[in-house]
Amino acid sequence: MTPEQHFEALKTRFHEVALLQSAADALEWDERTGLPAKAGEYRAAQVTLLRGMIHQQRTAAAVGEHLEALRDSRLADDPTSDVGATIARLDEDYQRERKLPQDLVEALASATVLGQQKWDAARKADDYAAFQPALSEILSLKRQAAAHQQTDGQTLYDAMIHEFEPGARSADIAAVFADLRNQLVPLVESLQAAPRQPNTDLLRRDYPIDAQRAFSRFAAEAIGFDFQRGRLDITSHPFCTSLGPDDSRILTRYETNWFPGGLYGTMHEAGHGMYDQGLRTEWYGMPPGSYVSLGIHESQSRLWENLVGRSLPFWKFAFPHAQKAFPGALSDVSLDELHFAVNGVRPSLIRVEADEATYNLHVIIRFELEQQLVADELNVADLPDAWNEKYRQMLNVESPTFADGVLQDVHWSAGLFGYFPTYAIGNLCAAQLYDAAVRDLGDIETAMAAGDLSGLLGWLRKHIHRHGRVYDPNTLMQNATGQPVNSEALINSLKSRYEPLYGVGE
């Protein structure tokens, strides 16, 4: 076989893998949009079978043989070409995945599907004890998997992070987080003590769900989500999933008396969906058509949710539409009042509803707790107490329920340990990317205020989306922004938005 034939054989196989993968993802999407109460066990069996088949296909000996033949061939000469990067990334994936025994992969697939069902029921019943055995089981399986995949110098937790943020290490992340916290804490304190405070009560008025759905769809369309290639649905915990090159599904939840929940849930997930929609479809399921890391994925969602969605230019455009959609709630409200309200900073219980300033503290709490769980320094039974203690310390809030405390996030029930830190990395990258776009494009905010947000999306398509996994996340950020990932842009962005609103320093 020529190198070209080996490469074609790999492409054919990974096309089939992508079909199976997206089919399994479709079953999981369906599971979270209204699966009948008693259908969970069978659904778990369906997903388990498909995930097992996917793992077999990706780790088959034939894949190793093709990669062996390609590794030193001329096709691998340029690792920044689509073909060269494909060979390099698939080789890395293959080496890593074949370390996992098939039975462990299947056990994990089953435990995490059932775990999410247990979590959902436990959250509804506000009963941590009902979830605890499932969590213990998942944690134990994840530790076994990490032990198989751990490389020299990696902690077990580092091996888990690698799955989401290739090459990142917990010690480095801890250093960045310390830096971030050092700058955030005084900022939050100054805002809490500031002369002007937002009237966030107006966000708790009556916002009918049907109107929220229509307005959320309008906002997602306005920022560039393509509804010909995706849809928006309701679920209990917002997420985004790709069920094919032209099928991005975003999901949010609505509360009548909390306007930002549904809207920013939608804008956040639409940001993820627009990244997926910007990947090159002809490479779907292959490294050049895949996202590079969860941190970069999150940078796309946070950029549209916060840098755009909470900006004054966006609201100059969107406010008249909002007043029309919610005449009962917004007829006596001004643009400036609403803009200030959606930029309210207050330590709170729920991560996904937290403001930008305190959000990273929620992430740091989870980052610390899951490190302890994985290192066996914290028992699963003691997790709720540890959770509550950290929330008291860092945010000075206390949840009266498990549902709004330790059970608020789906992640651990889905086996996602090492995933939370990518949220803060996403915040850092979002601010850096926005600054770089403004540097390259000049004034984008005048057009934004007139409802044209295409410039920013075009810049992201060119500098982030179209590259897929061709470069590693650090190189991609360096190329796009001229800098390594750091906290300066985020802190500057928060200060420049908050300080005039709150009258800090006046």
Binding residues for Zn(2+), as ranges, are 268, 272, 298
Instruction: Pick from 8, 30, 376, 443 the residue near a copy of itself by CB under 8 A.
Output: 30
Cβ distance to a copy of itself smaller for residue 50 or 203: 50
Should residue 188 be labelled a site residue for a copy of itself when binding is judged by CB under 8 A? no
Cα 283 from chain centroid? 22
Q: How many CA atoms lie within 13 A of 439 on its CB side?
A: 10
Least distance from a copy of itself to the Cβ atom of residue 5, Å: 22
Q: Residue positions in the annotated binding site? A: 268, 272, 298
Cβ distance to a copy of itself smaller for residue 25 or 355: 25
Spatial separation of the C-alpha atoms in residues 488 and 180, rounded to whole Å: 9
Should residue 125 be labelled a site residue for a copy of itself when binding is judged by CB under 8 A? no
Cβ distance to a copy of itself smaller for residue 22 or 235: 22
Least distance from a copy of itself to the Cβ atom of residue 147, Å: 30
Spatial separation of the C-alpha atoms in residues 215 and 218, rounded to whole Å: 5
Should residue 60 be labelled a site residue for a copy of itself when binding is judged by CB under 8 A? no
For β-strands 239-242 and 248-252, DSSP reports them as antiparallel
Number of residues that bind a copy of itself (CB under 8 A): 34
Spatial separation of the C-alpha atoms in residues 90 and 63, rounded to whole Å: 9
x-marked contacts with a copy of itself along 210-249 as a string, rule CB under 8 A: -----------------xxxxx-----------xxxxxx-
Cβ distance to a copy of itself smaller for residue 374 or 457: 457
> Environment class of residue 442 by beta-carbon count within 10 Å: exposed (0-12), middle (13-18) or buried (19+)?
exposed
* Residues 90-103 as b or e (16 or more Cβ within 10 Å = b): bbebbebebbbeee
* C-alpha dihedral (302, 306, 309, 310), degrees to nearest 10: 170
Instruction: Pick from 2, 4, 42, 206 the residue near a copy of itself by CB under 8 A.
Output: 42
Least distance from a copy of itself to the Cβ atom of residue 20, Å: 7
Calculate Rg over the CA atoms of the chain.
23
Lay out the sheet containing 248-252: strands in order across: 230-234, 248-252, 239-242
Cβ distance to a copy of itself smaller for residue 227 or 257: 227
Say whether 255 is catalytic. Answer: no
Should residue 209 be labelled a site residue for a copy of itself when binding is judged by CB under 8 A? no
Should residue 20 be labelled a site residue for a copy of itself when binding is judged by CB under 8 A? yes
Point out the catalytic residue in the list 165, 269, 356, 370.
269
Query: Which residues in the 271-330 window bind a copy of itself by CB under 8 A?
Result: 284
For residue 375, give Cα distances in angstroms to 146, 378, 386.
11, 8, 15
Contact at 8 Å (CB) between 166 and 473? yes
Should residue 103 be labelled a site residue for a copy of itself when binding is judged by CB under 8 A? no
x-marked contacts with a copy of itself along 243-282 as a string, rule CB under 8 A: xxxxxx----------------------------------
Contact window for a copy of itself (CB under 8 A) among 14-22, 105-113, 156-164, 467-475: 14-22
Least distance from a copy of itself to the Cβ atom of residue 251, Å: 13
Least distance from a copy of itself to the Cβ atom of residue 426, Å: 25
Spatial separation of the C-alpha atoms in residues 246 and 231, rounded to whole Å: 10
Contact at 8 Å (CB) between 296 and 429? yes
For 333-420, where are the alpha helices, taking DSSP H only? 335-341, 356-374, 383-395
* C-alpha dihedral (477, 482, 486, 489), degrees to nearest 10: -110
The neighbouring-strand residues paired with 249 are: 231, 241
Amino acid identity, position 203:
L
Least distance from a copy of itself to the Cβ atom of residue 210, Å: 10
Instruction: Pick from 9, 11, 13, 27 the residue near a copy of itself by CB under 8 A.
Output: 27
Count of positions (residues) in the chain:
506
Grouping H, G, I as helix, E, B as strand and the rest as coil, residue 232 is strand
Least distance from a copy of itself to the Cβ atom of residue 10, Å: 17
Cβ distance to a copy of itself smaller for residue 111 or 159: 111
Least distance from a copy of itself to the Cβ atom of residue 233, Å: 8
74: left (phi over 0), alpha (psi -120 to 50) or beta: alpha
Should residue 92 be labelled a site residue for a copy of itself when binding is judged by CB under 8 A? no
Cβ distance to a copy of itself smaller for residue 245 or 418: 245
Should residue 499 be labelled a site residue for a copy of itself when binding is judged by CB under 8 A? no
Should residue 426 be labelled a site residue for a copy of itself when binding is judged by CB under 8 A? no
Task: Enumerate binding residues for a copy of itself (CB under 8 A).
Answer: 16, 19-20, 22-23, 26-27, 29-30, 34-39, 41-43, 45-46, 49-50, 227-231, 243-248, 284
Residues tagged active-site: 269
